[in-house]
Structure 1
Amino acid sequence: MRTSHIFLALPALSVAQQQFPLVDQVKGWFAKASDSITSVTNPVASGAAKVADSRVQPLTVANYKDVLRPGAATASPGIEEWMVFVTGGNKTCYGQCARAETAFNEAVVLISASSSPPNLALLDCENEPVLCNAWVVGPPNVLHFLIAQPLADQSTPATTYRSIGFNRTTVTATQIAAIHLEEKYKDKAPYEGIFHPFDGQLAQTGLMIPIGYAIWGFSKIPSWAFMIFISFISRNMMSRRMQPPAAPQQGGAPAGGQPAAS
């Protein structure tokens, strides 16, 4: 009986020996195909990244006022257009901003070829969390500014500001480039709230950056510390409520410390 089982298993072993080399060949073919695709796309991405590095200015909490101002990049009068790409890393973009960064780099090439390209900047929330928290922005995002030159009396006109978000898994270079090339920024209403980077109440009163530091500081506090603090406060409140009220004093002496007359 055992011998018959062995003879029955021989055809299966023969088929397996024929199939495994085929699987290996298929795997090898896919590996070669992936390598060929990578070899074609990498030069394009690396070339776009080099162009972006030469044309895009990094924004920090220390230099954004000097970078984003009329006449900072060009001396032409009128209104200057700025596009600020917001990106991040593992903490601020969950490690999924690589596609958006590649799309932006390729969009820089398209935008730079236009007749009147905008000024370009980059805000990395991984390295500049205070500024991102102060502006209440997150990646991937494009901040569009229209900054006007000062008037004759040196007063500063309002800055038109829009925040345009993108899907980190489907964003393309043409979508980002269309913000300028097709003026797609006009499809979104300008933001005029308190978190406006230049004209909002927080920016005008000088509280924007301190609030950014405060939000960033709270984000660094671990969740268990908040739970301990809340538990401590709630226990104190409960203990005070459970304390019986003080009994009124009876037979007390009148003012002056003299005993009451009988």
Structure 2
Amino acid sequence: MRFTSTLLLLPSIALAQDQQPLADKVKGWFKQAQSYVQSVQSAAPSIPKVEVEDPVDAAASAAEAKLVHHLTLDNWQGILQPTAQSNPDEPEEWMVFINGANKTCYGMCERADKAWKEAVPLLSAQPSGPQLASIDCDAEQILCNSWAVGPPSIYVMLLPHVLPDQTKPQTTIYAVPLNRTTVTAMDINNIHAKEEYKKLTPYEGYFHPFDGLIAQYGLSVPLAHLMWGLAKMPSWLPMVAISLGTRTFMGRRTGRGNQPAPAQGGAAQ
């Protein structure tokens, strides 16, 4: 009798064991699915992540070898010369960016400086791109004074090769001003790409760095120092000097007028 009752209780015991909470069953199914996905991901080959490079960065990387020469009073004559790889039958194009900061540009050259930095990769990426150089007029005030240039601007120089008889043709220079508030990298790029500089008249004044009258007589640097000294002079000093000079001059003239007349000859007998 006891055996028979035990047999009758077996189905109810099994059913009690199978009656687990539904939430526990769902958690178990989720864990099984998660482990399966992880096993599949570990077995599948990893796909490398492809990054799209910015066009400007790509151009900068491709033109990394292109150097922007920083000109100073001591090195500019040695740098601004046709390179060995240029065509000896044609002048070589150079673009010189003339920049400044608080001293010479009164803090208004930041946009032009940013545009130049963005234009350098564009110019360098071109097969026939010009050689590049720059001048910081804040640091090289004497050099900028000797050229009589001010920021922001660009000098496009066509540097000729020395002829077989050791003579050198004249250097053609175009002075291209830059707008401080609107200039962009494309504006600077188009100076070369579209030859915008040829719309201007070549500079042939006294302060021409190579062929000007002042440079030919070797007076560029002394005159630049004089101009630099006058710029450093306080505004009141010339007025004081003029006032003292005027008073001295007028005092001498007044002194002569107050002198007694020379004695006349003796009275007639």
- The TM-score normalised by the length of structure 1 is 0.74
Preserved CA contact (<8 Å) 1:52 1:108: no
Whether 2:98 is the aligned partner of 1:80: answer: no
Residue in 1 aligned with 2:122?
A: 110
- What is the Cα-based RMSD across aligned positions, in Å? 2.7
Q: How far apart are 1:252 and its partner, in Å?
A: 5.5
Choose which of 147, 154, 157 in structure 2 pairs with 1:145: 157
CA distance in 1, matches of 2:97, 2:190: 14
Letter in 2 for 1:163: A
**CA offsets per residue over residues 45-99 of structure 1, 9 Å max, x none?**
9x96xx789621001111111011223x645413111100001011111111111
Q: How far apart are 1:211 and its partner, in Å?
A: 0.6
Secondary structure at the residue paired with 2:209? Answer: coil
Residue in 1 aligned with 2:192?
A: 180
CA distance in 2, matches of 1:93, 1:61: 19
CA distance in 1, matches of 2:241, 2:100: 31
Residue in 2 aligned with 1:33?
A: none
Q: Which moved more, 1:142-151 or 1:62-71?
A: 62-71
Distance 1:52 1:188, change over 3 A: farther
Whether 2:240 is the aligned partner of 1:189: answer: no
CA distance in 1, matches of 2:111, 2:152: 10
Choose which of 161, 166, 171 in structure 2 pairs with 1:154: 166
Letter in 1 for 2:174: R
Whether 2:230 is the aligned partner of 1:226: answer: no
Residue in 2 aligned with 1:248?
A: 261
Whether 2:235 is the aligned partner of 1:235: answer: no
Q: How far apart are 1:107 and its partner, in Å?
A: 0.9
**CA offsets per residue over residues 2-46 of structure 1, 9 Å max, x none?**
xxxxxxxxxxxxxxxxxxxxxxxxxxxxxxxxxxxxxxxxxx79x
Q: Which moved more, 1:62-71 or 1:236-245?
A: 236-245
Q: How far apart are 1:167 and its partner, in Å?
A: 1.3
Choose which of 222, 227, 240 in structure 2 pairs with 1:210: 222
Letter in 2 for 1:133: N
Aligned residues: 212
CA distance in 1, matches of 2:85, 2:134: 18
Secondary structure at the residue paired with 1:122? Answer: strand
Residue in 2 aligned with 1:23?
A: none
Preserved CA contact (<8 Å) 1:82 1:145: yes
Letter in 2 for 1:132: C
Q: How far apart are 1:116 and its partner, in Å?
A: 0.7
Letter in 2 for 1:248: A
Letter in 2 for 1:122: S
CA distance in 1, matches of 2:186, 2:91: 24
Secondary structure at the residue paired with 2:105? Answer: coil
Letter in 1 for 2:79: V
Letter in 2 for 1:249: P
Unaligned 5+ runs, structure 1: 1-43, 254-259
Preserved CA contact (<8 Å) 1:202 1:208: yes
CA distance in 1, matches of 2:85, 2:252: 65
Q: How far apart are 1:152 and its partner, in Å?
A: 0.9
- The TM-score normalised by the length of structure 2 is 0.72
Whether 2:122 is the aligned partner of 1:98: answer: no
CA distance in 2, matches of 1:118, 1:185: 13
